Structure 1
Amino acid sequence: MQKLILCLAILLPLSFNVAGAEFNKKGLDAFFNALDVNEKAMLGVTVRQDNTLLYQRNIGFSQVEKGIKADANTAYRVGSITKTFTAVMIMQLIEDNTLRLSDTLHNYYPQFPNANAITLEHLLLHRSGIFNITNAPEYTGYMTNAQTKAKMLERMAAFDADFAPGEKQSYSNAGYILLGYILEEVTGMPYAKLVQEKIIKPLKLERTFYGQKINTQNNEAHSYQHKSVWQVMPETDMSIPHGAGAIVSTSDDLSRFFSALFNGKLVSQDTLKKMMTLVEGLGMGLFRMPFGELWFYGHNGGIDGFVSSAAYQPESKISFAVTANGMNYTFNDILIAVLSAAYGMDVQVPDFSAKEVTLNEEQLRTFEGTYVSDALPMDINVFLQNGVLHAQATGQGAFPLAAYENNVFKFDAAGIVMKFESPGDSASGFTLEQGGGSFAFTRAAQ
């Protein structure tokens, strides 16, 4: 799973009238034109309202090396959006009395700590206490290699429980991998076939499937990171994420999937209500995303260099999906632009005309230090490493800063701008701007 640095907001807090709004296609086209020309993102986006297509566009490449442009049929790995598919299939089996929410993990995999007390409900709500396997130090050492189910079970069961079942909530990919395995145990069908039978075929999702090795002949995108140019990312073997993250899809298919889910095509309204009920911020394969006075229900995903988000708004019947295979811009701002357009609001088109400037090491060292804020519960350490200024917030990874003026630095991938006060011998503080917010930091006393 990917973690956006500092991620101060999910979606823009605004007040607006949704009734009768006309989609702002011109504004959103201009926004994506700017991102495309400046190599800020490669993605697909779809917006629907009550099954009517409002907008669909792809920018960037499915294969940068060969110059192959992405199109509406390009399929992207969607990471943890898979969890919504998995939760739906579990709930379908509960509806037909094959499973119960109270069934315990012990019935299937008794080797796990607390297996006799961990229920399907705990797994669905991330309340099992099972260690999140993707946080294991050794995970990156094997993630690109095929793993058997037996080996994955051995790896996951080897960790002690993080907490007692039901005690609290902690996001766990392992929990949804296990739910995927349980689906296979109960039905006798591989997950890939089951998702075809239960969801993909009934909804006629023609470009959605369980992923294998990326097949470019099938118009499947590779993922990339941007370091002066787009560079291809390592490819997770899909035997690993399974029911937690192995689905491949398009933005159009995902928008139709979420619309179908919320309109009674997959589960009953009573079941959907259970899935939407949040416990410490998470539902069953769903969570809430705020946009103004509205709440969207959906899921985000991140795997390798892929980033995605898809959700549905029940009152306005808007569904959207964004599937990206390369990000050099803050993903949150893309979601803000998409939803602003959906509700007929102005779309802020970014200006990328500013160019980086070069500062020498003596100048950069004036910004080094630890900075604190009364507005945010984190410190930010600014330091020089290999001639490049970096920043690191409490509990998060370090990220490089690019200078655009003598005292203004940016990290475009997370939409971060840091404006330092005139340094002199050493900067006394800076203003952090991200996601529409502005936060003052001052240098901590030595």
Structure 2
Amino acid sequence: MIKKDHIRTLLILSLIICSSFNNLFAQNLETKIDSAIKTVFNDPTGPGVVFMVAKKGKIIYQKAFGKANLELDANLHTDNVFELGSMTKQFTAVAVLMLEEQGKLNVNDPVSKYIPDYPSGDKITIHHLLTHTSGIKDFTKMKSLSDISQKDMTPKMMVDYFKNEPLDFAPGEKFEYDNSGYVLLGYIIELVSGETYEDFITGHIFKKVGMDQSLYASDRKVIRKRAYGYHKKSYGYVNKTVISFSVPFSSGSLMSTMGDMLKWQNALNHNVLLNGAETKKAFSKYQLNDGKEFTYGYGWHIKDINGTPTREHGGSIFGFKTMGVYIPEEDIYVLGLSNCDCNSPTKVTGDIAALTLKMFSK
């Protein structure tokens, strides 16, 4: 008969072995992630990047590399605030779905229901805007963009800026990434909700989720723990070009931190903001007019890593580049935020996601 002391000893030994294995696993993962990052982000004296890996809603890796402010020689930290660029589109899409869940709009509604004078507005739906299949010309490709880039524009002024451009293709005919469609969505959010886009996102998403360090971007406000953005020239780094964030508006004007973005991801996973049916719409693939499927939902690219489904989106705005990859099957979230538009975290984020998936799938 096995004595209780022997059982206790065996349990302690098993716990020690398990703990040692977990520590070795974590150290191995950290070493591999560090190596992947340093192949690209290897200038400790220049602007840099922060990376995070979370598993089942908990952070298992987070580090900062490089400087948050070159003039002050201030190091980046994992709680610095970054401009998100087009990762803003996730929030815009969810805001639209929240309004649909409240019965205030329908994604199949034509744009003309909300903006009666919009050209071809009876043929373009909210769904087309969400999926980049509207055919509306992307305002970032218009030659006159520099004329308004530093002006304070109302949402209506922004819509009027591009609305009379000819469509690039018939609505639903093909997928072509389009910032104008998401500006239009922000305007519709304002018309339907009776709130500004900034107030809607702040009040109904940031505050509800507890994203205390997230906000609508500004180059004028004093923002605590801001990471400063940079360009790289042949002669060295320079401060990013100043713009009016009323121009990218709901297509790219939000700021956040790694910790807040994890709160965002966890809120999506637990249907804090949307019910299951509306959430599914965001992460579904859709078809073009000819029945061909394309890999974009509402605010996310729907892709895969070696056959394992992922939800991905990046961002690029003066001085910043960002990338996030979520793997639903393993509940793995990988995020990279860079404060120089000279170095994109896109490939490294994908590489980290792939190696993390591989290690947890063994």
TM-score surpassing 0.5? Answer: yes
Amino acid across the alignment from 1:258: Q
**Is it true that 1:118 corresponds to 2:124 in the alignment?**
yes
> Equivalent residues in 2 for 1:76-95 (5 A)?
76-95=82-101
Q: Is the 8 A contact 2:317 2:341 kept in 1?
A: no
Amino acid across the alignment from 1:236: I
Match of 2:186 among 180, 190, 209: 180
Cα distance, 1:282 vs structure 2: 1.3
> Equivalent residues in 2 for 1:330-341 (5 A)?
331-341=345-355
Q: 1:284 to 1:201 in 2, by over 3 A?
A: same
The equivalent of 1:26 in structure 2 is 31
The equivalent of 2:324 in structure 1 is 310
Q: 1:164 to 1:224 in 2, by over 3 A?
A: same
Q: Is the 8 A contact 1:114 1:164 kept in 2?
A: no
- In structure 2, what is the Cα distance between the partners aligned to 1:216 and 1:68? 16
Cα distance, 1:168 vs structure 2: 2.1
- In structure 1, what is the Cα distance between the partners aligned to 2:223 and 2:126? 38
Match of 1:45 among 51, 55, 58: 51
Match of 1:232 among 239, 242, 250: 239
Cα distance, 1:339 vs structure 2: 2.0
The equivalent of 2:152 in structure 1 is 146
The equivalent of 1:281 in structure 2 is 295
Q: 1:158 to 1:57 in 2, by over 3 A?
A: same
Cα distance, 1:214 vs structure 2: 5.2
Q: 1:113 to 1:327 in 2, by over 3 A?
A: closer
**Is it true that 1:170 corresponds to 2:184 in the alignment?**
no
Does the residue aligned with 1:54 lie in a helix, a strand or coil? strand
The equivalent of 1:245 in structure 2 is 252
* CA distances 1:384-408 after superposition (whole Å, capped 9, x unpaired): xxxxxxxxxxxxxxxxxxxxxxxxx
Structure 1 spans left out of the alignment, 5+ residues:
1-19, 346-446
**Is it true that 1:195 corresponds to 2:209 in the alignment?**
no
* CA distances 1:72-102 after superposition (whole Å, capped 9, x unpaired): 2211111111111011011111112111112
Q: 1:166 to 1:138 in 2, by over 3 A?
A: same
Q: 1:79 to 1:210 in 2, by over 3 A?
A: same
Q: 1:53 to 1:135 in 2, by over 3 A?
A: same
Does the residue aligned with 2:153 lie in a helix, a strand or coil? coil
- In structure 1, what is the Cα distance between the partners aligned to 2:169 and 2:45? 43
Equivalent residues, number: 326
Q: Is the 8 A contact 1:307 1:325 kept in 2?
A: yes
Q: Is the 8 A contact 1:258 1:298 kept in 2?
A: no
- In structure 2, what is the Cα distance between the partners aligned to 1:252 and 1:335? 16
- In structure 1, what is the Cα distance between the partners aligned to 2:251 and 2:346? 22
- TM-score normalised to the size of structure 2? 0.83
- In structure 2, what is the Cα distance between the partners aligned to 1:76 and 1:48? 19
Cα distance, 1:120 vs structure 2: 1.0
The equivalent of 1:421 in structure 2 is none
Cα distance, 1:22 vs structure 2: 3.8
- TM-score normalised to the size of structure 1? 0.68
Moved more, 263-272 or 73-82: 263-272
The equivalent of 2:336 in structure 1 is 322
Structure 2 spans left out of the alignment, 5+ residues:
1-21, 287-293
- In structure 2, what is the Cα distance between the partners aligned to 1:226 and 1:302? 15
Q: 1:333 to 1:118 in 2, by over 3 A?
A: closer
Amino acid across the alignment from 1:173: N
Q: Is the 8 A contact 2:314 2:346 kept in 1?
A: no
Cα distance, 1:65 vs structure 2: 1.7
Bigger helix fraction: 2
Amino acid across the alignment from 2:158: M
Q: Is the 8 A contact 2:115 2:121 kept in 1?
A: yes
Q: 1:59 to 1:289 in 2, by over 3 A?
A: farther
- In structure 2, what is the Cα distance between the partners aligned to 1:314 and 1:187? 31
Bigger strand fraction: 1
Match of 1:108 among 99, 110, 114: 114
Q: 1:87 to 1:329 in 2, by over 3 A?
A: closer
Amino acid across the alignment from 1:342: T
- In structure 1, what is the Cα distance between the partners aligned to 2:245 and 2:277? 33
Q: 1:93 to 1:138 in 2, by over 3 A?
A: same
* CA distances 1:387-434 after superposition (whole Å, capped 9, x unpaired): xxxxxxxxxxxxxxxxxxxxxxxxxxxxxxxxxxxxxxxxxxxxxxxx
Q: 1:194 to 1:39 in 2, by over 3 A?
A: same
Q: 1:33 to 1:282 in 2, by over 3 A?
A: closer
The equivalent of 2:289 in structure 1 is none
**Is it true that 1:160 corresponds to 2:166 in the alignment?**
yes
Does the residue aligned with 1:326 lie in a helix, a strand or coil? coil
Cα distance, 1:328 vs structure 2: 4.6
Amino acid across the alignment from 1:43: V
Q: 1:167 to 1:322 in 2, by over 3 A?
A: same
